[in-house]
């Protein structure tokens, strides 16, 4: 309770290895073999482990019924909105607690407690207070995704070179110009690093909220399919969720590449 | 880092937030149908303890979280060592791991529910499946990042395989592994609560959902508060333990990515 939110070092520890390219493709062999055996030995009507061909059929059924596309759209909206809100709020809070030692000490324990709260536990509260709707989903996801941005922004502010501020002073830059030309570019990589960590979290929590509350989206569709024992459909939808997160990770990697190329040095 | 000084300012802010909450709800400035004042749900914790509802639920969640975490960590470290040390094994499986890891873990909860039904096995399975990944990936990264000189030293000293792992590889990879363990612990708690909320009908998650369905906001907030305390407690305990066992690790803090 008395420790600060985290030592800045943890931000470094969580930095994903940069420039790590995808491992050799022959590594896909075990997965391929597994899926092949599954397909050959799995029985069509298995309620637990339906073979991959039934996944495709389940997805196709959903697509033709016109439920798959809106579900993907809903998940995308919740995920995107929450990530934007979490980034803005997290960066602002992070910059404040990073710049002001007093604010850090004052808010530290409260933030620490809020951060340790499992997001799943927030779902019933949000559902009761806000109701079963889109706003509730965004609120819960934001609550979970804000921490990486906040912590990384805070570490970014701490690591700011004092020379930057001296430069601004000796150039007689206005407050606005100091922010725009020096501080913002210097902080951007830290904030984006936070977003990189926050994006997968936001996606997972979006699905979690949808599974728990069944309010729209891919998660709700997965939960409903499971309830109706349409296991082929469940596995197919998991595959879609996997693709979704693959795309998110890819976009985030692009973003990261961009940031590090434009890193002020 | 462990700081011994009490953060009075921080505690005062916390109290102020609680006071503000109380005042806003009492004066009716904030109007939510189901938002209880802290004075309303605080004592509720006490009554839940004396009614015998809270303690068994708490112990169940704690036990499942720790058990799942230990199993997941063991699997993660053992497999991680294997894949980190053997270049062939790494080459022929890492891509599969990367692909599998991309699947959002919570989407597998319904599958576990399909397969295991409402049972503690289902809860443990999802915990292990989700929490093993960060340990596995961090162990692989840590082991593969062991400096070449250290490996040479081990070879020069003609250390046997197991001794080499114990004396050289594990200590060198420890910081990365600890980060994975920390992430895994907060994930384990999350997944235990999730599993209880939708699958296994026991523990704090189940109690929370029942309180919500019974429209008992005081009871619900009491349970959420207890879950939060458990999260803080587990995090602090692991931080303390890793600072004690590995003093060279200056890194403090918990999992930055704690979904």
In contact, B92 and A29? CB cutoff 8 Å = yes
A54-94: pLDDT as tens digits = 788 878 888 888 788 888 888 899 999 999 999 999 988 88
How many Cα atoms occupy the beta-carbon half-sphere of B45 within 13 Å?
14
Given CA atoms A160, A164, A168, A170 in this order, what sign does their dihedral have?
positive
The pLDDT-based confidence of A262 (bands split at 50, 70, 90) is: low
In contact, A50 and A235? CB cutoff 8 Å = yes
In contact, A229 and A217? CB cutoff 8 Å = no
Helix, strand, coil content of chain A in percent (nearest 5):
80, 0, 20
Given CA atoms A87, A92, A98, A104 in this order, what sign does their dihedral have?
negative
What's the CA gap between B66 and A57, in Å, rounded?
39
What distance lies between CA B2 and its chain's CA centroid?
Answer: 20
What was the pLDDT predicted at B70?
A: 94
Element (H, E) at A8: none
Q: For residue B31, what are the CA distances in angstroms to A130, A143, A179, B28, B113?
A: 11, 21, 39, 6, 38
Testing the interface with A: which of B104, B125, B193, B197 to mutate, by most A Cβ within 10 A? Answer: B104
Spell out the alpha helix ranges (H) of A159-230.
162-170, 175-177, 184-213, 217-227
In contact, A114 and A121? CB cutoff 8 Å = no
More reliable by pLDDT, A145 or B48: A145
Residues 115-154 of B with CB under 8 A from A: 115, 141
Task: Look at the block and give the residue holding tokens 């809100």.
Answer: A85
The single-letter DSSP state of residue B118 is: S
Size of interface A-B (CB pairs under 8 A): 246
What's the CA gap between B242 and B252, in Å, rounded?
9
Range A147-161 average pLDDT: 84
What was the pLDDT predicted at A83?
A: 92
Helix, strand, coil content of chain B in percent (nearest 5):
80, 0, 20
Residues 56-95 of A with CB under 8 A from B: none
More reliable by pLDDT, B31 or B225: B225
SS3 B1: coil
- Residues in chain A with CB shorter than 8 Å from the CB of B3 are 2-4
Given CA atoms B5, B9, B10, B11 in this order, what sign does their dihedral have?
positive
Domains delineated in chain B: 34-245 (1.10.3720.10)
What's the CA gap between B130 and B78, in Å, rounded?
16
What was the pLDDT predicted at B54?
A: 79
Task: Look at the block and give the residue holding tokens 């989407």.
Answer: B107
| Interchain CB distance below 8 Å, B107 and A229 | no
What whole-number percentage of chain B has pLDDT above 70?
90
What's the CA gap between A16 and A5, in Å, rounded?
20
pLDDT tops 70 at residue B62? yes
Q: What is the pTM of this model?
A: 0.79
What whole-number percentage of chain A has pLDDT above 70?
88
In contact, B115 and B97? CB cutoff 8 Å = no
What distance lies between CA A10 and its chain's CA centroid?
Answer: 18
What's the CA gap between B234 and B190, in Å, rounded?
12
pLDDT tops 50 at residue A242? yes
Given CA atoms A129, A135, A136, A140 in this order, what sign does their dihedral have?
negative
Given CA atoms A91, A144, B49, B64 in this order, what sign does their dihedral have?
negative
In contact, A68 and A236? CB cutoff 8 Å = no
Q: Which ipTM value was assigned to this complex?
A: 0.75
Please enumerate in sequence order all residues whose Cβ is within 8 A of that of A145, keeping only pairs 6 or more positions apart, or say none: A82, A83, A86, A90, A198, A199, A201, A202, A205
What was the pLDDT predicted at A260?
A: 66
Please enumerate in sequence order all residues whose Cβ is within 8 A of that of B245, keeping only pairs 6 or more positions apart, or say none: none
- Averaged confidence pLDDT in chain B: 79
What was the pLDDT predicted at B72?
A: 92
Closest A-chain CA to B198:
A212
The pLDDT-based confidence of B71 (bands split at 50, 70, 90) is: very high
Which phi and psi (to 5°) does residue A9 adopt?
-60, -30
CB-neighbour burial class of residue A167 (10 A; exposed 0-12, middle 13-18, buried 19+): middle
What's the CA gap between B242 and B201, in Å, rounded?
33
| Interchain CB distance below 8 Å, A128 and B34 | yes
Residues 60-119 of B with CB under 8 A from A: 90-100, 102-111, 113-115
Phi-psi region of A153 (alpha: psi -120 to 50; beta: other; left: phi over 0): alpha
As given in the structure block, the two tokens for residue A73 are: 């759209």
pLDDT tops 80 at residue A144? yes
In contact, A123 and A211? CB cutoff 8 Å = no
What was the pLDDT predicted at B30?
A: 65
Closest A-chain CA to B259:
A201
Element (H, E) at B23: helix B8-27
The single-letter DSSP state of residue B106 is: G
More reliable by pLDDT, B39 or A250: A250
| Interchain CB distance below 8 Å, A2 and B17 | no
| Interchain CB distance below 8 Å, B106 and A1 | no
What was the pLDDT predicted at A261?
A: 67
| Interchain CB distance below 8 Å, A3 and B3 | yes
| Interchain CB distance below 8 Å, B114 and A48 | yes
**For B150-172, b where at least 16 C-beta lie within 10 A, e where not — what string?**
eeeebeeeeeeeeebbeebbbeb
What whole-number percentage of chain A has pLDDT above 90?
6
Q: Is A17 on the interface with B (CB under 8 A)?
A: yes
Domains delineated in chain A: 52-261 (1.10.3720.10)
| Least confident piece of the model among A245-254, B19-28, B196-205 | B19-28
| Interchain CB distance below 8 Å, B190 and A11 | no
Residues 176-235 of A with CB under 8 A from B: 197-198, 200-201, 203-205, 207-208, 211-212, 218-219, 222-223, 225-226, 229, 231, 234-235
CB-neighbour burial class of residue A176 (10 A; exposed 0-12, middle 13-18, buried 19+): exposed
Closest Cβ opposite residue A108 in set B7, B34, B255:
B7
Virtual torsion, Cα B3, B5, B10, B12, nearest 10 deg: 160
Q: Please tell me which of A26-35, A99-108, B178-187 the model is most confident about, judged by mean pLDDT.
A: B178-187
């Amino acid at each position: 309770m008395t420790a600060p939110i985290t030592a800045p070092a943890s931000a470094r520890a969580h930095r994903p290895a940069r420039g790590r390219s995808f491992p050799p493709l022959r590594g896909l062999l075990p997965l391929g073999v597994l899926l092949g055996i599954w397909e050959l030995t799995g029985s069509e009507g298995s309620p637990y482990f339906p073979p991959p061909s039934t996944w495709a059929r389940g997805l196709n059924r959903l697509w033709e019924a016109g439920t798959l596309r809106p579900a993907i759209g809903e998940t995308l909206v919740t995920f995107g909105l929450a990530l934007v809100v979490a980034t803005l709020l997290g960066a602002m809070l992070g910059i404040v607690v990073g710049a002001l030692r007093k604010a850090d000490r004052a808010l530290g324990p409260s933030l620490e407690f809020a951060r340790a709260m499992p997001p799943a536990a927030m779902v019933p509260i949000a559902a009761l207070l806000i109701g079963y709707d889109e706003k509730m989903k965004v609120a819960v996801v934001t609550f979970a995704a804000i921490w990486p941005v906040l912590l990384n922004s805070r570490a970014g502010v701490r690591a700011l070179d004092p020379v930057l501020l001296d430069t601004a002073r000796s150039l007689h830059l206005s407050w606005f110009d100091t922010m725009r030309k020096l501080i913002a570019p210097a902080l951007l990589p830290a904030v984006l690093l936070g977003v990189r960590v926050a994006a997968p979290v936001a996606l997972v929590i979006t699905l979690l909220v949808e599974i728990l509350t069944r309010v729209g989206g891919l998660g709700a569709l997965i939960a409903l399919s499971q309830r109706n024992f349409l296991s082929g459909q469940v596995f197919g939808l998991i595959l879609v969720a996997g693709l979704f997160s693959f795309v998110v990770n890819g976009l985030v990697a692009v973003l990261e590449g961009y940031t590090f190329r434009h890193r002020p040095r | 880092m462990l700081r011994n000084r009490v953060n009075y300012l921080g505690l005062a802010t916390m109290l102020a937030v609680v006071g503000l909450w109380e005042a806003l709800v009492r004066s009716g400035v904030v109007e939510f149908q189901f938002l209880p004042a802290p004075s309303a749900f605080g004592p509720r914790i006490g009554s839940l303890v004396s009614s015998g509802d809270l303690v068994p639920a708490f112990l169940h969640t704690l036990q499942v979280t720790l058990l799942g975490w230990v199993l997941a960590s063991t699997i993660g470290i053992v497999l991680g060592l294997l894949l980190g040390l053997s270049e062939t094994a790494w080459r022929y499986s890492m891509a599969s791991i990367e692909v599998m890891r991309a699947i959002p873990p919570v989407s597998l909860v319904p599958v576990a529910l399909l397969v295991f039904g409402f049972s503690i096995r289902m809860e443990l399975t999802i915990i292990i499946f989700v929490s093993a990944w960060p340990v596995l990936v961090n162990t692989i990264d840590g082991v593969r990042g062991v400096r070449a000189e250290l490996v040479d030293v081990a070879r020069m000293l003609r250390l046997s395989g197991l001794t080499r792992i114990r004396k050289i590889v594990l200590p060198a990879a420890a910081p990365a592994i600890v980060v994975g363990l920390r992430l895994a612990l907060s994930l384990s708690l999350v997944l235990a609560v999730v599993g209880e909320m939708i699958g296994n009908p026991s523990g704090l998650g189940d109690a929370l959902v029942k309180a919500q369905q019974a429209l008992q906001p005081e009871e619900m907030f009491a349970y959420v508060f207890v879950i939060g305390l458990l999260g803080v407690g587990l995090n602090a305990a692991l931080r303390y333990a890793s600072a004690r066992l590995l003093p060279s690790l200056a890194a403090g803090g918990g999992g930055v990515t704690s979904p």
